[in-house]
Structure 1
Amino acid sequence: MTTASIPRGDRRISPVFLGIVAVTAVAGWATWTDFAAQPGLAVFLFVTGAWIVSLCLHEYAHARTALHSGDISVGAKGYLTLNPLKYTHALLSIVLPVLFVIMGGIGLPGGAVFIERGRIQGRWKHSLISAAGPLTNVLFAVVCTAPFWLGLLDGVPPVFRYALGFLALLQVTAAILNFLPVPGLDGYGVIEPWLSYKVRRQVEPFAPFGLLFVFAVLWIPEVNRVFFDMVDVLLGSLGVGDLERYCGYDLFRFWREANPVCEAG
Structure 2
Amino acid sequence: MTTATTRRHERRISPVFLAILAVMAVTGWAVWTDFAASTGLAIFLFVTSAWVVSLCLHEYAHARTALHGGDITVGAKGYLTLNPLAYTHAVLSIVLPVLFVIMGGIGLPGGAVFIEQGRIKGRWKHSLISAAGPLANVLFAVVCTAPFWLDALDGVPLAFRFALAFLAFLQVTAALLNLLPVPGLDGYGVLEPWLSYKVKRQIEPYAPYGFFIVIALLFVPAVNAAFFDAIDALLQSLGVPDSSRYCGSQLFRFWQEAPEFCQV
The answer to whether the 8 A contact 1:163-1:248 is kept is yes
Runs of 4+ in 1 over 2 A off after TM superposition: none
TM-score normalized by the length of structure 2:
0.98
User: Cα offset for 1:111?
Assistant: 2.3
5 Å matches for 1:137-176? Answer: 137-176=137-176
- Give the root-mean-square deviation of aligned CA atoms: 1.0
Listed as ranges, the gaps of 5+ residues in structure 2 are none
SS at match of 2:61: helix
For 1:17, the equivalent position in structure 2 comes to 17
For 1:132, the equivalent position in structure 2 comes to 132
Amino acid of the residue matched to residue 222 of structure 2?
E
Pair 1:113 & 2:119 matched: no
Amino acid of the residue matched to residue 125 of structure 1?
K
For 2:194, the equivalent position in structure 1 comes to 194
Instruction: Point out the more displaced range, 210-219 or 140-149.
Output: 210-219
Instruction: Point out the more displaced range, 22-31 or 197-206.
Output: 197-206
User: Cα offset for 1:90?
Assistant: 2.3
- Counterparts of 1:164 and 1:37 in 2: how far apart (Å)? 20
- Counterparts of 1:249 and 1:224 in 2: how far apart (Å)? 17
**1:71-115 deviations in Å (ceiling 9; x for gaps):** 000011100000011122221111110111122221111121111
The answer to whether the 8 A contact 1:40-1:253 is kept is yes
Amino acid of the residue matched to residue 166 of structure 2?
F
Amino acid of the residue matched to residue 28 of structure 2?
G
For 2:63, the equivalent position in structure 1 comes to 63
Listed as ranges, the gaps of 5+ residues in structure 1 are none
The answer to whether the 8 A contact 1:145-1:168 is kept is yes
Pair 1:225 & 2:225 matched: yes
User: Cα offset for 1:248?
Assistant: 0.4
- Counterparts of 1:114 and 1:62 in 2: how far apart (Å)? 9
SS at match of 1:113: coil
User: Cα offset for 1:50?
Assistant: 0.6
* Percent of residue pairs identical: 77
The answer to whether the 8 A contact 1:85-1:93 is kept is no
**1:150-209 deviations in Å (ceiling 9; x for gaps):** 000000000000000000000111111110000000000000000011111221222222
- Counterparts of 1:201 and 1:140 in 2: how far apart (Å)? 35
How many pairs align?
264
For 2:256, the equivalent position in structure 1 comes to 256
- Counterparts of 1:46 and 1:85 in 2: how far apart (Å)? 20
Pair 1:49 & 2:49 matched: yes
User: Cα offset for 1:6?
Assistant: 1.1
The answer to whether the 8 A contact 2:5-2:72 is kept is no
For 1:234, the equivalent position in structure 2 comes to 234
Amino acid of the residue matched to residue 163 of structure 2?
A
